[in-house]
Structure formats: C-alpha cells, structure tokens
C-alpha cells in the first residue's frame, strides 16, 4: 500500500515537471488537445497563437524531449526510426537528439560494478579512471584497463534509471490512452506505439543482451578483414554492466582533411558492404549505423559501435525485400504491390490494382531510370506513405531495415558524393535471389517442412472420410447456388485433379528430401542423380498443376 502511494506521488511530481517543460517550450497547446488543462499551473495560459511559426514545432519538440531526458529522449530516438508513425519533419529532427547529460559520481559507478560482479573493483581492473569519457541518460562509459593489460570500455547503467523509466512509461500509457480517445488517429494506435516502444527500450536497457548482439555480429563479420567489431567480455557483463574491447579511432564524420577522395570512396564501400553483408547474408544487423557509431581506425579499418538497436530479418522477410528491390529496379508496379502486400499486415480488403496504381504514382519517377538516380530516403518515405494510405502495418524489423538503409545512404554520400546505395546493394540482392532459387536452398527448405508435409498427407484420407461420413449422416449441409450444374461439375472435376496432382507433388517432394539426405549413388553438383530425376519429374507435375 505504501509503495503504491509513493508511486502515485512520484508520478504526479513527474507529470508536473513534464507540464512545466512543455509550456516552457511553447508546446502547452497539446495539453489543451488532450483535455489536460487542469494540469496547467495557475497563471499560465494555453494559447493557440503560440503555434504561429509551425515550422519551429519539430525543433521545439526536440528541445523539450532533451530537457525531459530519460524515457523521453529514447522515445524521440525511437520515433526517429519510425517515420511511418509521425510526420517526416519530426522524424528527421528527432535524429538530432542529444543524449548528453551530467555524469553521476564515479564512486556510484564503482559500487554498481562491484555489486554486479560480486568482486572488489581492484581485483578486476589494474586501472579504473575517476572520470568517464562519455555520459548519457541511460549509462556512462569509462576507459579502463583489465588485470590482463587489455584496454576496455566499461558501460555502467545510471542508478535509479529503471525506477524513472517505470514512472515515465506509466505516464506515457496514460497519455496514449487519452490520445486514442481524443485524437482518433486513423493510421496508428497510440497504445500499440507505446507498447512497441517499451519493448524496444527494455531491450536496450539490458546490457547483457547488447553483449550477445555484439558477439553474434562479430561472428557474422569475422571473414571481413576490413571491419572491426569490439570483443565483448561476456563473463564481465550483466544486465546493468557491459565490458568490451576499447576502440581507438575517429568518428567517420570527423575525418581529417588530408583523406583523399579515393580513400573516402573506399571507406564508403567498406561501410556499405559491412551493412549489406549483415542484412542480406545473415539477417541480423546493426540497425543504427549513423556516423557517431562508425569509427575509422589508424589502420583504415572500420569499427562499428553501440549495438543496442539490432534488427533481424528472417528468410521470408529477406525474400520479400529482395523482390521489392528487383521490382523497383525493373519498374514493375504489380510486382512491387505484391511484395509490399507480402511484407505487411493488411487490415481489411486491399485492391491490388489500386495499390499498384498508388505505388506507380508515388515511385513513377524512378521507373526506367539509372540506379544512380534512386534516392533511398525518398523511396522509403513514399513507401511508408502508401502503407499508411492502404492501412498496411509493416513489421518493425522492416522499418529498422529501411532506417538502416536511409542512414547508410547519408553516411555514404557524406563520405563520397557519388556514392549510390542501390547500385552497391545490387550484387547482394542478386546473390540473395540466386540463393533462394537454388536447388540446395530448395532441398533445405523441403527438409525443414518434410515432417509437416508427411503429417498432412497421413491425415488427409481420414479428413476426407470424416467429411463423407458427415455428409452421409446428414450432419454436414452443403448449399449450392449455381445456374449451371454442369459447369459446377466441371469445376469439381478440375479441383479433384488439382488435389491429386498436389498429393503427388507432396509425396515426390518428401521422397526427394529423404533421397537428398540418404545421398544414394553418383551425384551432379553434389546432388544425387536419382534425386535430380525425381525433382525434374516433380517440377513437371507442379507445372501441370499450375496450368490446371
């Protein structure tokens, strides 16, 4: 009971603080829109004329979020990743959010380290500095030296941040509920947005998860000798503490003036290849490759930092993204519409022809032109606009992919004015398409689904028998409304043929999969000849099935 009272008092105090800051930045009118006038201190006025300079609103909102700190800075950073939810001018402005705050005492940081690792700090480090090298609303970072002599970066979570976040999340949910009732936004549900943001932020607060993210991406890029991913020390990392290799380098946007044009072009290509390799080959990728997270080392190698925001594209999403790229490059509006529908979750009926027409109108300027003239930022924003128009809810990981592409395009162009993202991506898309249509990949997918196919085939006779029995007993009624019974009979005959072909194809697929696993007799391209023969026959039957 006492804890709940304290929480309510804390929330009220925080709300009053939020109101004061919003009014101070000329954003108090939103309190009027949310019917929160009773929270405005006596003597303050909420005047619509405060918004006479509407072009200032995104900047004012950014300043307010920076002053509010904590969850609100993270909210702005999250919304900067989601231009499908807010106007693009706000998303662009929120990318400039500065998360620099006063650091907390190092004595507290030492105490947190000892509590997390249950060891005196002197037994862990031969040197631990008195001042951090960076401080943000969630954590601060120290450059320390382990007993083994290795130089490491130590990221320590700010004390009390979880309690502050809990209070702010509680307030955000209440505001989202009010916004849902009052504003009735047709494109998104504010409560769903806050829920997604909470999931995103809690993941970023878990430093142990970030350490595992680093380990996964480091393994994926181990073959790339031009890229350095810091080594995470998992045995020294917890949910509130992250220890990793210290990277000594220069931010990619602060390179010295003596870097030649050729060197800049090479750096842009190295960075883009690093990101495309993560996305199209592994599916697990750093979702925020902005300049502050990319360092150029003295060896001219590229180092990637800050793995709090990581996206994942499963094989299905990668396939549809590849199809989206191909359709865009080929100017195929119908293919673009289909891959777009395949990507998202559609609420209600969508006319595919209307969607194709909308995409053609939105992206028509890019059809039939050279790849060097395609701007990913414009394309992505137009795709999001069409998604809103047709109530297509795109998966969060696709949005992260788009954000990574837009950010990467900006970094590449900043380094090298002739950099073209789509041209650089083409070999990876081609390789992805080739891999998805290869016999080896087909055999792998068939192997994954063979048990499900076998179970369905085993169950099919019983299901047919059950339907016939229910028809015979009068338990199942079939109502036919057709003017021409003979046409209906013909359709039933065709359907029966299709089912027969389908069963045959399924059986052959299972046989091919088991033969591929058994690998009997001689092989061609590492595939048994018998398997190839049955596969060719299966493809013939499948072709007959499609023609029927």
- Which H, E and C letters describe 18-37, residue by residue? HHHHHHHCCCCHHHHHCCCH
Backbone dihedral angles phi then psi of residue 251, each to the nearest 5 degrees: -55, 145
Distance CA 21, CA 25 (A): 6
Q: Per residue in 298-314, pLDDT tens? A: 888 999 998 988 889 88
Q: Decide if pLDDT at 60 tops 80.
A: yes
Distance CA 23, CA 329 (A): 48
Tell me if residue 288 is catalytic: yes
Contact 76, 123 (CB under 8 A): no
Report H helices in 331-395. Answer: 333-343, 352-363, 376-389
Q: Break the chain into its structural domains and give their ranges.
A: 2-99+164-202, 105-158+206-246, 250-437, 440-547
Cβ-count burial of 25 within 10 angstroms (0-12 exposed, 13-18 middle, 19+ buried)?
A: buried
What are the distances in angstroms from CA 512 to CA 310, 453, 459? Answer: 38, 13, 21
What are the distances in angstroms from CA 297 to CA 144, 155, 253, 276, 294? Answer: 19, 21, 13, 21, 10
Distance CA 157, CA 140 (A): 7
Q: Per residue in 444-471, pLDDT tens? A: 555 555 555 555 655 666 666 666 666 6
The reported pLDDT for the residue numbered 125 is: 97
The reported pLDDT for the residue numbered 208 is: 93
Report H helices in 207-276. Answer: 207-220, 261-276
Band (203; pLDDT cuts 50, 70, 90) = confident
- Closest CA relative to residue 538, chosen from 436, 435, 451, 443: 443
Q: Where are the beta strands (DSSP E) in 147-234?
A: 151-157, 227-228
The residue length of the chain stands at 548
- Maximum mean pLDDT: which of 50-64, 100-114, 387-401: 100-114
Q: Per residue in 154-188, pLDDT tens? A: 999 999 888 888 888 888 888 888 777 766 555 56
Contact 327, 353 (CB under 8 A): no
What is the mean pLDDT of the segment spanning 523-534? 65
Q: Which residues pair with 162 in a beta bridge?
A: none
Give me the catalytic one of 288, 332, 351, 466.
288
Backbone dihedral angles phi then psi of residue 240, each to the nearest 5 degrees: -115, 5
Distance CA 409, CA 268 (A): 9
121, two tokens: 């700090």
Q: Per residue in 345-397, pLDDT tens? A: 666 677 888 888 888 888 777 665 555 567 777 888 888 888 878 878 788 88
Distance CA 297, CA 224 (A): 15
What is the mean pLDDT of the segment spanning 222-250? 94
- Closest CA relative to residue 340, chosen from 313, 326, 185: 326
- Closest CA relative to residue 302, chosen from 252, 244, 233, 245: 252
The reported pLDDT for the residue numbered 43 is: 45
Number of other residues whose CB lies within 10 A of the CB of residue 295:
20
Q: Is the CATH number of domain 105-158+206-246 3.40.1130?
A: no
What is the mean pLDDT of the segment spanning 524-534? 65
Bridging pattern class, strands 523-524 and 527-528: antiparallel
- Which H, E and C letters describe 274-333, residue by residue? HHHHHHHHHCEEECCCCHHHEEECCCCCEEECCCCCEEECCHHHHHHHHHHHHHHHHCCH
Longest dimension (CA), the chain: 90
Cβ-count burial of 333 within 10 angstroms (0-12 exposed, 13-18 middle, 19+ buried)?
A: buried
Could you report how far apart the first and last alpha carbons of the chain are, in Å? 70
Contact 126, 149 (CB under 8 A): yes
Backbone dihedral angles phi then psi of residue 503, each to the nearest 5 degrees: -65, -40
Number of other residues whose CB lies within 10 A of the CB of residue 269:
16
């Amino acid at each position: 009971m006492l804890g709940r009272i304290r929480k309510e008092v804390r929330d009220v105090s925080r709300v009053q603080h939020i109101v004061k800051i919003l009014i101070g930045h000329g954003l108090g009118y939103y309190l009027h829109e949310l019917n929160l006038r009773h929270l405005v201190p006596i003597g303050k006025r909420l005047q619509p004329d405060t918004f006479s300079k509407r072009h200032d609103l995104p900047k004012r909102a950014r300043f307010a979020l920076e002053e509010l700190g904590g969850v609100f800075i993270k909210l702005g950073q999250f919304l900067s990743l989601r231009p499908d939810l807010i106007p693009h001018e706000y998303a662009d402005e929120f990318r400039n959010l500065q998360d620099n705050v006063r650091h907390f005492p190092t004595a507290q940081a030492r105490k947190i380290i000892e509590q997390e690792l249950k060891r005196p700090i002197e037994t862990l480090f031969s040197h631990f500095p008195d001042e951090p090298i960076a401080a943000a609303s969630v954590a601060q970072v120290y450059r320390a030296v382990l007993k083994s002599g290795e130089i490491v970066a130590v990221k320590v979570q700010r004390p009390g941040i979880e309690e502050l976040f809990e209070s702010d999340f509680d307030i955000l949910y209440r505001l989202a509920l009010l916004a849902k009732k009052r504003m009735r936004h047709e494109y998104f549900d504010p409560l769903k947005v806050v829920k997604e943001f909470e999931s995103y932020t809690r993941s970023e607060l878990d430093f142990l998860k970030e350490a595992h993210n680093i380990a996964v991406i480091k393994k994926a890029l181990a073959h790339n000798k031009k890229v350095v991913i810091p080594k995470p020390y998992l045995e020294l990392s917890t949910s509130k503490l992250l220890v990793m290799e210290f990277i000594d380098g220069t931010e990619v946007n602060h390179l010295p003036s003596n870097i030649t044009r050729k060197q800049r072009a090479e750096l842009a290509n190295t960075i883009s290849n690093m990101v495309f390799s993560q996305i199209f080959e592994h599916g697990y990728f750093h979702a925020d490759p902005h300049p502050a997270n990319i360092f150029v080392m003295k060896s001219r190698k590229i180092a990637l930092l800050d793995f709090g925001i990581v996206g994942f594209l499963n094989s299905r999403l990668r396939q549809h993204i590849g199809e989206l790229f191909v359709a865009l490059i080929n100017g195929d509006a119908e293919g673009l519409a289909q891959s777009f529908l395949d990507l998202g979750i559609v609420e209600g009926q969508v006319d595919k022809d209307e969607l194709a027409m909308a995409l053609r109108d939105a992206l028509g300027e890019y059809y039939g032109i050279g790849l060097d003239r395609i701007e990913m930022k414009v394309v992505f924003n137009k795709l999001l606009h069409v998604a809103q128009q047709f109530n297509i809810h795109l998966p969060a990981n696709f949005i992260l992919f788009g954000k990574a592409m837009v950010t990467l395009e900006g970094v590449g162009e900043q380094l090298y004015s002739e950099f073209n993202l789509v041209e650089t991506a083409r070999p990876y898309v081609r390789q992805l398409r080739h891999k998805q249509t290869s016999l080896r990949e087909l055999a792998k997918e068939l192997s994954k689904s063979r048990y499900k196919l076998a179970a369905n085939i085993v169950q099919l006779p019983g299901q047919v028998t059950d339907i016939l029995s229910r028809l015979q007993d009068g338990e199942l009624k079939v109502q036919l409304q057709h003017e021409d019974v003979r046409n209906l009979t013909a359709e039933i005959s065709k359907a029966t043929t299709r089912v027969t072909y389908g069963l045959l194809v399924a059986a052959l697929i299972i046989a091919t999969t088991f033969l591929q696993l058994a690998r009997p007799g001689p092989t061609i391209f590492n595939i048994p000849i018998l398997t190839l023969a049955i596969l060719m026959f299966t493809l013939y039957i499948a072709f007959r099935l499609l023609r029927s």
